[in-house]
Structure 1
Amino acid sequence: MEHVSKSVTLVELKRSLVPPKWEDTVRVIGMSECKEAGLSLAHAFAADELSQYLLDADDMASYSAEHKWKLHVDIMTYITASHCYDGLVTTIGPDHDGVALWMPPGSVDNGWLTILRSGTKPSARGRGYARKLLNDMIERADAENRAVYLESSSLSNNVYYSKFGFEYKREIRLTRGNTPVSLFVMVREPIPRKTGVYSAVVASNIKMQVNTVMKEVSLV
């Protein structure tokens, strides 16, 4: 009788130390993670027209591409740090793949929620991170009856934001550089919700995260 042996390949699934909930949960971060979040935004906005406008000024003509990249990373890191200190920074993904910088109500006179930057690293796009970052704060805005303000730097982004209820208001032209760029002001008015989706439990959760971040800031 012929004996036939069959080999079986077993694939070992190793446990990762990256918290599983980071993959699909929006969280508030503080100063201890601003460098990682800033680098992520730098990659997200590497081809952004506004970013290139700021770094292609006449007085930077002699700068190398490597030097401009370092400046770009520094700008995004400093902006992120300032929002960790006096604003709100949210992220999603195991490696800060999507990051959003928010100015909360009270930072400006109109009491709106303002998006300064929201981007996803090219390697992490197509996973719904941008949508989740936006919806996280849109739920808060609707619950608090607040508008959300942003300045988009591309027409394609305008189409994307319109899907979330943002409406185009006006165009801002930056013309001092060699290649002028446009910023498109968009505003989303609050939409009353029939049910308390953004419940007191959710609001309490964000408050706890912010308090944790502020305690961290006080120790820096």
Structure 2
Amino acid sequence: MSLKGIIFDLDGTLLDTIDDLADSCNRQLEEYGYPTHPAESYRYFVGNGVRKLVERALPDTEEARKITDRFVQDFRSDYQDHCFDRTRPYPGIPELLKRLKQDGLVLAVLSNKPDTETKKVVRHFFPKDQFHCAAGHKEEFDVKPDPAGVHAILNKLNLRAEETAFVGDTWIDMQTAVNSGCFPVGILWGFRDRPELEDAGARAIAADTGELYSILNTAD
């Protein structure tokens, strides 16, 4: 295996989080007196960090823009209380990670979810030694597709970009891989589709975890 490390996106890649995200945001929309959205809509609201999610969910009005900061805080508070309600690893993910770890690969997570929430759900759903590093969005870095978060992980784990794959389900993840020099691998069980991943630079796309394992074994 030529790869030494793999960085995974979290929401839509390792964990199916869409229902808990939708429920938390919709509860706040109801509290503020705004219309709610079906869970399917949140597949396109998420990906660029919590603030963008909120901006997309709120009406495009001056009134809504004025309360965005407060809404973000209320949403985060609600989500921290409910982030385990309906979230689950995608089928085959625990087994995939176990195999990759046994193969000696260095595994990491990089999410645009805030760092506190990222670490919380990773600790809850995966063994404590599953990942060498799990990081979410921090104020000192821009959100993906800016490569700063990837570079921080590579430096921390003594990996080079050319020996590392970045695996995700959206154009944001593929562009993050391209921008950082990692090998871009898209997956189809998440929130977006094949054309989006291909257009954003995916060099390989997996339909299931078995195919993903094969791709990661032959990537160069």
Instruction: State the structure with more CA Rg.
Output: 1
Normalized per residue, the structure richer in helix is 2
Give the alignment's TM-score, normalised by structure 1. Answer: 0.31
Give the alignment's TM-score, normalised by structure 2. Answer: 0.31
